[in-house]
Amino acid sequence: MPISIQLNSLDSKEKTVKLIIELILAVIFHPIAVIFAWVNLIVRKDMSDGKKILWAFVCLLWPIGVFLYILLADGALW
C-alpha cells in the first residue's frame, strides 16, 4: 500500500480539512511572496517604471501574479 494519500480516497470531511489547510497556507505565504516580488521590482534596473508598476499590481491583486512574475518576467527572488 503506498504511503501517499490519494485524493479520491479521502472522504468529504478530509477534503474539507485539506482545503482549509491550503487556504490558510495561501493566506500566510501570498503576502510574503508579494513583498519579495516588490523588493525585487524596486532593485531591478532592466525594467521600465511602467512595467514595474504593472507587475506590482498584478502580484497584489491576483495571487498567481507572483508566480507569473517569476516565470514570465524573469523575476528572481534570491
Distance of CA 27 to the CA centre of its chain: 10
Domain ranges across the chain: 31-78
Strands (E) in the chain, as ranges, are: none
Total-model pTM: 0.56
Give the pLDDT band (50/70/90) at residue 74.
low
Are 41 and 47 a contacting pair, CB within 8 Å? yes
Residue with the bigger pLDDT between 41 and 4: it is 41
Local confidence band at 50 (pLDDT 50, 70, 90 cut-offs): very high
Percent of all residues in the chain with a pLDDT value above 70, rounded to a whole number: 62
In this prediction, residue 53 has a pLDDT band, given cuts at 50, 70 and 90, of very high
Q: What is the CA radius of gyration of the chain?
A: 17
Lookup: cell for 60: 497584489
